[in-house]
Amino acid sequence: MLWPYIPIAIMLLIATGLAVAIVVLAHMFGPRRKTYRKGMPYESGMVPIGPGMRRQPIRFYRIAMLFLLFDIEVVFLLPWAIVFRKLGTFAFVEMLVFIAILVVGYIYAWHKGALEWE
């Protein structure tokens, strides 16, 4: 009954064993002493300028989140568009409601200034 799942179980065991082996080998053969030169960040062979941890303005994250939010709608629009004729009028009205909610969210973000880059 479970015979078809045996290759998957074997693959998972091999992948887990390989991951554990890599971590153990890295710990066994890895460098033991930390020096100033080894602890420095590497930036394309150049000496780093400024601190490694800089504060980023929130607008980068806000634009990225809005992009993802409005881009995910394609995941819902594509399957709907493929079976549009089979679903009928009710599905069309439901999709209009969905798009209306997205448009309201877009207008709200626009009026709040979330899309302005400055």
Structure confidence at residue 19 (pLDDT): 97
Residue 47 lies in a domain: no
pLDDT at 6: 94
- Domain residues for the domain of 65 are 58-112
Residue 96 pLDDT exceeds 70? yes
State the Cα–Cα distance between residues 55 and 48, nearest whole angstrom.
16
pLDDT of 22 reads 96
Chain segment 41-73, per-residue pLDDT in tens: 766 777 767 776 777 777 788 888 888 888 887
Of 19 and 103, the one with more pLDDT:
19
Residue 52: the pLDDT is 66
Residue 76 is assigned to a structural domain of this protein: yes
Whether 64 and 106 share a structural domain:
yes
* Gap between the Cα atoms of 83 and 58, Å rounded: 40
Domain count, the chain: 2
pLDDT band at 84 (very low <50, low <70, confident <90, very high): confident
Helix 89-112 / helix 73-82 crossing angle, nearest 10 deg: 160
Q: Cβ neighbours of residue 20 under 8 Å, at least 6 residues apart?
A: none
Tokens for 109?
A: 């973000």
The mean pLDDT of the chain is 84
Question: Do residues 33 and 63 both lie within one domain?
Answer: no
Residue closest to 40 by CA, chosen among 51, 31, 30: 51
- The yes-or-no verdict on residue 24 having pLDDT over 90 is yes
Backbone angles phi, psi at 117, to 5 degrees: -95, -30
Token digits for 7? Answer: 């290759």
Using the structure block, give the residue that is written with the tokens 């992948």: 15
